[in-house]
Structure 1
Amino acid sequence: MLLDRGTTLGKNVGSASDRFQITNSCQWPEPDMQTLQSTREAPHFVALDSIRGIAALSVVLCHMTWTSVVQSQSYVQNSYLMVDMFFVLSGFVIFYAYGKRISSGLDFSKFMWLRFWRLYPLHFCLLIVSLGIECLKALAQWRFGIVANNPAFSSNNLSSFIGNLFLVQSLHLFNKGTFNEPAWSISVEFYTYILFGILVLLSGSKRVVLIAAACIFGLSLAALVPLSQKGLAHYTYDFGIVRCLAGFFLGVLTFAFYERLRSSNITNSRPRLIGCFPLVAITTFVLFLQLKSPGYSDLAIYFLSAAVILSLALTPSSGPTRLLSTAPFAWLGAISYSIYMVHDSVVWAVNQTLRIVVHAKVIHLPLYETPVLEPHAAVGLGAVVITLILVLIISHFTFVCIEKPFRDWSKSAWPIVRARLLPKTATPN
């Protein structure tokens, strides 16, 4: 997240109980009802939501499987790294929300209950859509003799369906991406949540959590060094968990650094200097994606993502932060998880239209492992625009009809679940 709404803590697209309140205080929130109620009522930091939405749209452009003037841009070709930004952002906001709120088995159960129902319903729906696509491919092959690049039910078979059903499709159990391929990041992030929750539960102090986070980040980054020789884009269903661990726990450390800077009152002592931070960080981030080549340089995405997140969190009054907090960007952030999850199916549908209806030529490009289509320049650009419009419309629908209802239900249903768990977790006098 893949995939919570920036500071609405709880994907990519978060929950009311997870909202990030930017205040002058850097104290950890106490897990009492008064604090939780005030957190729900406080406005969340919209700019980080918006950054997630922009990143999700960048991933959509990156995954389009036909040539166009848009796909020729290095920024778009390198936007596979936006997923690593998702991981850093998730670590930042999840640590704020739950760093001091998982002190018992019941707290851990609530944390995972909310995480599961935040991620899984949309994942399951898109898994069924992907299964339907496989059925359509089989029907087209049987009835019309049309064979897809990836034949029906070849890699997307029963075993990979079960893997996706249990969110283990990206734990190096399969030899390629399966079904709704963007969901690989949801798989690894879910199990990273489990590790984080256990770590906070067992640590007993913030200091121990941060030491452990630093160790996990350091080890994960070291493991990524040999893997990044040909670029991080090649590691999703196999070593994607390492990418997630590195990004998520750097996000944890970034929030701790943010808290330290806020307590030092640096934003008030040097307002002009700090006010320039977001523009510099965002510009550097964009230039990096536009100018870099795949390879070891991919690892810089973690630190650049942390800089962008930190700069926006520190400067709620800066120009870039205010711009990202406007209504259009806020809406984009709200549906960012849906954008990320639904786009693969939309891209597939547009690709088939170009291939079967427009008869676009199939070509091979060095940057793509599978063949891509080469339609007329105007047709390719039009397909990009249509795809973006369809993704936004469908994402709004899935957010309103799937994400939000299940998110709200999970919160309202927790007291009932808690009541059932209490007899099992209560300690005898």
Structure 2
Amino acid sequence: MKKRRVFVELDGLRGVAALAVLTRHAPDGLFRDWLPGSYLAVDLFFALSGFVIAHAYADSLTVGMSTARFALLRVIRLYPLYLLGTALGLIVLLPKLAAEGGIQAGPLLAAFGLNALFVPVPPELAIGRGETFPFNFPSWSLTFELIVNIVYAALILWLTGWRLGLLLAASFAGLIWATADHGSLDMGWTFATLPGGFARTIFSFYVGTVIYVAKDRLPWLRAPFWVLAPLLLLSFMIDPGPGARAVTDLLLITTLYPLMIIAAANVRENAGGGAVMRELGVASYAIYILHMPIIALVRGIFLKGLNYPYQNLGGWGTIALAGGILLAASIVDRLYDRPVRRFLTRITNARRVTAVQS
């Protein structure tokens, strides 16, 4: 079997994007104001997922790997941290619900059970603001990604050429409609915006698979991480105003982000910083899926334990919080996620086909 590449530059970009999402939910809103478009990191994640899945699994799927085996591999990759984030979300949500008027155990357990199985909570079981994943609302994107991953595996031999083009055109048309209606691509975690969330996922994921095939046709397009990372952050800083937000979002995910992925993937040598980029990539998923319950826990400590205005942490406090979450994500990856995935792989005989993070 041919040796598979590890795209270190893409690892670094994934880590930067995860940190941008983290700061979006930080206490004082400073970085959210600086990076108003940081929700587009999720669209970048979807495109990176399509690229990496095509790289890691396309050959195996076309020569006999079953969809069931692929689905098992993806669940093993995603579920340990996903379940941990959901469980932590439940733990930190309980005191808040109790303070707001009591806890209805039946609906709460039903909602938790659904979320633990990648299923959105329906409106009749809504908790808090009515998110479909109230215990850890970034989980919505993992559910959508898993569904699209499995459909990709099932249709890989059929979905080529004009059929792939038709899927991309249809998903983009749906994305235009949903974005125009919502005003931006910041959608997917409520029942009202579920169709837009699926359109986001489908379009960017399959753009990623196309990029993987097309990257070799543009060997000259390459750029180092220290150029691409600031460029990504600059794209999150763009604030065209409500009227032009939808158009700007669509332009970024259809032009800049695909070009950035190609430019990063075409860099085969790293003059320096490779270890940092790898670490960012390794920790990125844990950062993304655990940052909300950790932030909620910190909020509770400051408000209840220290009687300190949480929103007054300021920029340096946010940076310290992000550093702490990055450290926690690295520790959780090593001490929990990897051992659990190795155990699940062993008991299910789910052989890993690649070392590429996805």
- Please say whether Structure 1 and Structure 2 have the same fold, judged by a TM-score greater than 0.5: yes
Counterpart-to-counterpart distance in 2, 1:67 and 1:335: 23
Q: Does 1:312 align with 2:264?
A: yes
Distance 1:156-1:358 versus aligned 2 partners, 3 A rule: farther
Instruction: Report the counterpart of residue 232 of structure 1 in structure 2.
Output: 185
SS of aligned partner of 2:26: coil
Query: Aligned match of 1:340 in 276, 288, 292?
Result: 288
Query: Aligned match of 1:66 in 28, 47, 53?
Result: 28
Instruction: Report the counterpart of residue 356 of structure 2 in structure 1.
Output: none
Distance 1:119-1:275 versus aligned 2 partners, 3 A rule: closer
SS of aligned partner of 1:136: helix
Residue ranges of structure 1 left out of the alignment (5+ in a row): 1-33, 142-146, 268-273, 361-372, 418-429
SS of aligned partner of 1:233: coil
The correspondence of residues 58-137 of structure 1 with structure 2, limited to 5 A, is 58-68=20-30, 70-73=31-34, 75=35, 77-103=36-62, 106-137=65-96
Q: Is the 8 A contact 1:188 1:244 kept in 2?
A: yes
Q: Does 1:385 align with 2:341?
A: no
Deviation at 1:191, TM superposition (A): 0.4
Distance 1:260-1:170 versus aligned 2 partners, 3 A rule: farther
Instruction: Report the counterpart of residue 288 of structure 1 in structure 2.
Output: 235
- One-letter amino acid of the counterpart of residue 394, structure 1: A
SS of aligned partner of 1:180: coil
Distance 1:408-1:301 versus aligned 2 partners, 3 A rule: farther
Distance 1:338-1:275 versus aligned 2 partners, 3 A rule: closer
Distance 1:217-1:292 versus aligned 2 partners, 3 A rule: farther
Instruction: Report the counterpart of residue 351 of structure 1 in structure 2.
Output: 299
Deviation at 1:347, TM superposition (A): 1.3
Counterpart-to-counterpart distance in 1, 2:29 and 2:106: 25
Instruction: Report the counterpart of residue 354 of structure 2 in structure 1.
Output: none
Q: Is the 8 A contact 1:282 1:308 kept in 2?
A: no
* Residues 58-100 of structure 1: per-residue CA shift (max 9 Å, x gap): 10001124233x3431x2x211110110000010111122222
The correspondence of residues 168-247 of structure 1 with structure 2, limited to 5 A, is 168-169=119-120, 175-177=130-132, 178-200=134-156, 202-203=157-158, 208-229=159-180, 230-237=183-190, 238-239=194-195, 240-247=197-204
Counterpart-to-counterpart distance in 2, 1:155 and 1:60: 31
Counterpart-to-counterpart distance in 2, 1:138 and 1:389: 29
Query: Aligned match of 1:256 in 213, 222, 242?
Result: 213
Q: Does 1:56 align with 2:4?
A: no
SS of aligned partner of 1:335: helix
- TM-score using structure 1 length: 0.69
Q: Is the 8 A contact 2:22 2:288 kept in 1?
A: yes
Query: Aligned match of 2:250 in 299, 322, 334?
Result: 299
SS of aligned partner of 1:232: coil
Q: Does 1:408 align with 2:356?
A: no
Q: Is the 8 A contact 2:223 2:267 kept in 1?
A: no
Aligned residues: 334
Distance 1:416-1:155 versus aligned 2 partners, 3 A rule: closer
Counterpart-to-counterpart distance in 1, 2:151 and 2:122: 14
- One-letter amino acid of the counterpart of residue 307, structure 1: L
Residue ranges of structure 2 left out of the alignment (5+ in a row): 352-358
Counterpart-to-counterpart distance in 1, 2:122 and 2:14: 24
Deviation at 1:359, TM superposition (A): 4.7
Q: Is the 8 A contact 2:141 2:188 kept in 1?
A: no
Q: Note the aligned Cα RMSD (angstroms).
A: 3.0
Deviation at 1:212, TM superposition (A): 3.1
Counterpart-to-counterpart distance in 2, 1:128 and 1:219: 36
Rg bigger for which structure?
Answer: 1
